[in-house]
Amino acid sequence: KKFRHSTYVDQTIDMTDKDNLDETEVLRSVKERDYYQDHTYYNSWIQRKHTDRQKKSIGNMFDWMLPGYEISPWVWYPGDTVEVVAGDFTGQRGTILNVIKYKNQAFVQNVNVQPMTIPASESRPEQIIQREHAINVSFLKLVDPSTNEPCDVKLVTVRDKETGEKVQRRMSLQTGTLMPIPKEKENVEMGDPINDTPLEDAREPTYMEDKELPVMIARKLRAMEDHFVNDLRESHARHAQYRAENVEYLRQYQQAVVTQAAGFVMEALIPSAAPSATSDEVPVEAPEFVSAAHWEEATADVELPEFMPDEVEDLHGVFDIENPRFREKAENSSPF
Give the C-alpha separation, 286 to 143, whole Å: 130
d(CA 13, CA 28): 12
Neighbouring residues of 219: CB distance < 8 A, sequence distance ≥ 6 = none
Q: Is 172 helix (H, G, I), strand (E, B) or coil?
A: strand
* Residue 38 to residue 326: CA distance in whole angstroms: 87
Q: What angle do CA 32, 84, 99 make, to 5 degrees?
A: 45
CA 22 to chain centre: 37
| pLDDT score at 60 | 74
Least confident of 69-73, 157-161, 190-194, 219-223: 190-194
Q: For residue 143, what is the enclosing H or E element?
A: strand 140-144
pLDDT per residue as tens digits for the range 262-315:
888 888 877 554 444 444 444 555 555 555 665 666 565 555 444 444 444 444
Residue 252 has pLDDT above 80, yes or no: yes
pLDDT, tens digit, 9 for 90 and up, residues 82-114: 999 998 999 999 999 999 898 899 999 999 999
Q: Please name each of the domains of the chain with its CATH number.
A: 4-65 (no CATH), 81-179 (2.30.30.30), 212-332 (no CATH)
24 CB burial (10 A radius; 0-12, 13-18, 19+): middle
